[in-house]
Chains A and B, each alone.
Chain A
Amino acid sequence: MDEKKLAIIATKGTLDWGYPPFILASTAAALGYSVEIFFTFYGLQLLKKDLGHLRVSPLGNPAMPMPVPMPTLAMILPGMEGMATSMMKSKMKAKGVASLEELRELCVEAEVRMIACQMTVDLFEFDTADFIDGIELGGAAAFFEFAGEADITLFI
């Protein structure tokens, strides 16, 4: 049987939404899949060497569990985003959830191919020197070259 293939497009750059691409990619690789992730728009934030800048916002996210119910307007107060971010980080640590850096490192070890979208790198003026090593640059056609033969394709 041929190796199965998983193609992922990662478009989000928040602390919470950074998880699905790396969890699925690392697990698929452990199951023997060949995996490629195409990072575009805000997903490019996930490629930076230091991921300490990633945040999670309760603003516009009524589904986010809060310790006490809060009116939507309170979410715009200064410090709310920082509070939500540190709350999520400490909860993840307490529950034995891997850090994004750790999951990404496991993806790198498992030879998950990572491609940064050239157009959005240019658009947002990202410096590719800030990215981890081993990142390739490519466009939509480069994504389809792999995704066209993939068994599973996910847009996250």
Chain B
Amino acid sequence: MVQEDKVLDARGLNCPLPILRTKKALGELNSGQVLKVVATDPGAVKDFEAFSKQTKNPLLEQAEAGGEFVFFIQKA
């Protein structure tokens, strides 16, 4: 299990807010640190993969449980 350094609650937010808040939260981390994001927008799954690929911040792990999507993103 990946250990996070910071948690971002993006539940109830819709596109593009989860990505925009994630970008902001990553800006407050140091390289190598991990951000955990919890979201409820089903579109977030594809968006976080695309965000990770384009910004080169690795998406270490993702999971879904009870309508919530959890992402662990490492700051490049």
Contacts and interface: CB of A to CB of B under 8 A. Distances in A.
Interface of A: 23, 26-27, 30-32, 95-98, 103, 106
Given A32-B54, A32-B55, A96-B41, A27 B14 contact: no
B19 interface: yes
Q: Report the interface size class on chain B.
A: 10 to 19
A23 B14 contact: no
B32 interface: no
Interface of B: 12-17, 19-20, 22-23, 41, 51, 54-55
A32 to B, nearest CB: 6
Contact of B19 (A27, A32, A95): A27
Contacts of A27: 16, 19-20
Given A23-B16, A30-B16, A97-B14, 16 more contacts: A26-B16, A27-B16, A27-B19, A30-B51, A31-B51, A32-B54, A32-B55, A96-B12, A96-B13, A96-B14, A96-B17, A96-B41, A98-B16, A98-B17, A103-B16, A106-B20
Contacts of A32: 54-55
Contacts of B15: 23
Contacts of B55: 30-32
Contact of A31 (B12, B17, B41, B54): B54
